[in-house]
Amino acid sequence: MATTLIVDGANVVGSVPDGWWRDRAGAARRLHERLLVGDTSYDAIVLVLEGQAKGGVKAGRDAHVTTVHAPKDGDATIREQARLAGESGRRVVVVTADRALAANVSPAQVLSPSWLLDHI
């Protein structure tokens, strides 16, 4: 079964205290670049960006990574992306440490930002 990995960009970037808050767009771009070259077993990766981070990566598809710009809050967009992927018959995995979001993407599997960063 094909699997889609949906990445909560703000949550993943925010999990590493490396000064990302001074350059949110740059931090989003670095995460996107790591997702492009990372060796993952996922058929598709969806990176959801919000706020100033959207300035770092254009919305759209780049190889196996699709970047989606959240019109408002990232959580609603992540839930929508998970729903769409699930409706298309794909297995869905969401990367976030946000407990409220994790509880609302069922039946998707939820993995932590540290798991993702260890794998890309």
Q: pLDDT band at 93, cuts 50/70/90?
A: very high
pLDDT score, position 36: 93
Q: Which percentage of the chain shows pLDDT scores above 90?
A: 72
Q: pLDDT: is 33 or 107 the higher one? A: 33
Specify the pTM.
Answer: 0.94
Q: Which percentage of the chain shows pLDDT scores above 70?
A: 100
pLDDT score, position 58: 96
Class of the CATH domain delimited by 3-119:
alpha beta
Task: Judge contact between 114 and 96, C-beta under 8 A.
Answer: no
pLDDT at 1 over 80: no
Where along the chain do its domains lie?
Answer: 3-119
pLDDT at 16 over 90: no
